[in-house]
Amino acid sequence: MSRLVRAVAFACLAASSLAAAPAFAAEAASSAAAPAPAATPALIERGRAAFTHRCSMCHREGGTGTFILARRLGAEQSLIEKRTNLAPEYIRYVVRWGLVNMPRISRVELPDPDLEAVVAYLSAPRAGP
């Protein structure tokens, strides 16, 4: 791929990301009004099941997402189920809008209640090493 084609592709990607920013801001403002459900053991278990069904093919040991995160952030940050530094807002944003190699996950693929369960699961306190 020539440099010019890559530059144009990058410019288009940047423009589309900027175009999505107002939509994200509006969505974030509307979702800020609705409080997240309390992280009950049942909700966390539902989140674990949803994560296993929708996310684990990439974000468990040996998955593409884990490999890419290990290259970018280091092996200790590659398994997102073990991380303790994932803010709920960040999880919601990355799932709905995508980030770098991760595609966006639509509300059809992962409905909002299931997303909130995944957020509760990934945000739940972890036992120490």
Confidence of residue 19 (pLDDT cuts 50, 70, 90): very low
Mean pLDDT for all residues in the chain? 81
pLDDT, tens digit, 9 for 90 and up, residues 111-120? 999 999 999 9
Q: What sign has the CA pseudo-torsion 118, 122, 124, 127? A: positive
What's the CATH number where 123 sits?
1.10.760.10
**H or E segment to which residue 13 belongs:** helix 3-33
- Please give the Cα distance from 71 to 63 (Å, whole number): 13
- Residue 21's pLDDT is what? 46
Pair (45, 17) in one structural domain: no
User: What are the Cα distances from residue 80, in Å, to 9, 12, 67, 127?
Assistant: 30, 30, 12, 15
22 lies in the same domain as 80? no
Measuring CA to CA, which residue among 123, 90, 89, 92 is closest to residue 107? Answer: 92
- Whether 25 and 87 map to the same domain: the answer is no
pLDDT digits (tens, 9 = 90+) for 64-90: 999 999 999 999 999 999 999 999 999
How many domains is the chain built from? Answer: 2
Say how many Å lie between the first and final Cα of the chain, rounded: 46
Give me the percent of the chain exceeding a pLDDT of 90: 64
Burial of 9 (0-12, 13-18, 19+ CB in 10 A): exposed
Residue 10 has pLDDT above 60, yes or no: no
CA dihedral over 19, 112, 106, 104, signed as positive or negative: positive
pTM greater than 0.75 (yes/no): no
Q: For position 33, what pLDDT does the model report?
A: 43
- 25 and 41 both lie in a single domain: no
Domain boundaries, position 108: 37-129
Residues 11 and 45 in one domain: no
Per-residue pLDDT at 95 exceeds 90: yes
